[in-house]
Structure 1
Amino acid sequence: MIKSLDKGKWTRPTDKSAVYIEIEPGKRWGIRVTLYENHAKVEAVQGEKTVWYNAPKRYSTIVTPPTIFEKLRGISFEDKVLAEVEEKRRVAAEENGSPSYFMESEDN
């Protein structure tokens, strides 16, 4: 699990996956990060039970482990996941109608 994802809740639906859900109170849209053995799926979701099938990249992205070139530049798997999390937080904020709604808590 990624330690810096601590505003939401983590669950372990199976032995080989972990799911992180972060939805601000009173809002409909949030993010979901599903960690698998060899990749992660980062999504902007409308509620905890939302399921995307072939969702547009704006809402759902598969994050793969870093390539050898990314590793040489010092980019880790966690860095790649966190970059996508920030992008999906922006999408969720836009869908909620408040583009700065995730950003306010980062300044504190």
Structure 2
Amino acid sequence: MSRNWKTICQLNDIPAQGARVLKRDDGDDIAIFRTIDDQVFALVDKCPHKGGPLSQGIVSGRTVTCPLHNWNIDLATGQACAPDEGCSGHIPVKLEAGAIFLALD
């Protein structure tokens, strides 16, 4: 199955250890994260605990900390880190020649 990749922004549009939000009318907003070493991840912008905006959290390594109740979420999978349980939706993302693409199938 081929993916429908959509260009979202440039890597430099997102600060290192920061995030940007892709607002969507037809679904949940998507948070796009950039790590200190320029890895890019995308999650539904809702913590699995109480729906806090993950895009406003603190990125550290490959996790983001929810700004509401300090849950840590794995950026690669969307899974809450133990002992917490739950998952934010993960969106496939790729970086090519400085451009960030999301699979919005």
* TM-score for the superposition, normalised by structure 1: 0.36
Say which structure is richer in strand. 2
* TM-score for the superposition, normalised by structure 2: 0.37
Q: Name which one, 1 or 2, has greater alpha-carbon Rg.
A: 1
Which structure would you say has the larger RCO, counting Cα contacts within 8 Å and 6 or more residues apart?
A: 2
